[in-house]
Amino acid sequence: GIDPNFDKNRETAGEENGVTVWGPVEPPETLGIHGTHVAVDYDICVADGACLENCPVDVFTWVDTPDHPESETKVEPTREDQCIDCMLCVDICPVDAIDVDPG
């Protein structure tokens, strides 16, 4: 699953769709972690979609990630500032790709 200490163990590698990306990033195979308060490990996400479908405040948006080995779409936490820390997405993701830090 996602490293809960990614913000200490990784360095930022720019922004995509208004969301901070934590490297390493080497497309199309390696896409890093997207988001900070709500963080999605793009290299673990398999596009299950349960997070996006069940988030009560619609934090996530689908984005295309062509030729990524795990899945060709991912969820971008574009409205992570709206997150109410319910932890539903963290609990529901089948591959533990999401970390939410209520801190």
The 3-state DSSP class for residue 62 equals strand
21 pairs with which residues across the strands?
34
Q: Does residue 96 belong to the site contacting ligand SF4 (CB under 6 A)? A: no
Asked if 19 interacts with ligand SF4 (CB under 6 A), we say: no
d(CA 58, CA 79): 7
- 2 interacts with ligand F3S by CB under 6 A: no
Instruction: Say whether residue 52 binds ligand SF4 (CB under 6 A).
Output: no
Segment near ligand SF4 (CB under 6 A); pick from 15-23, 26-34, 40-48, 79-87: 79-87
Verify binding: residue 33, ligand SF4, rule CB under 6 A. no
Q: Please give the DSSP secondary-structure letter assigned to residue 48.
A: -
Name the site residues for ligand SF4 (rule: CB under 6 A). Answer: 38, 55-57, 59, 83-89, 100
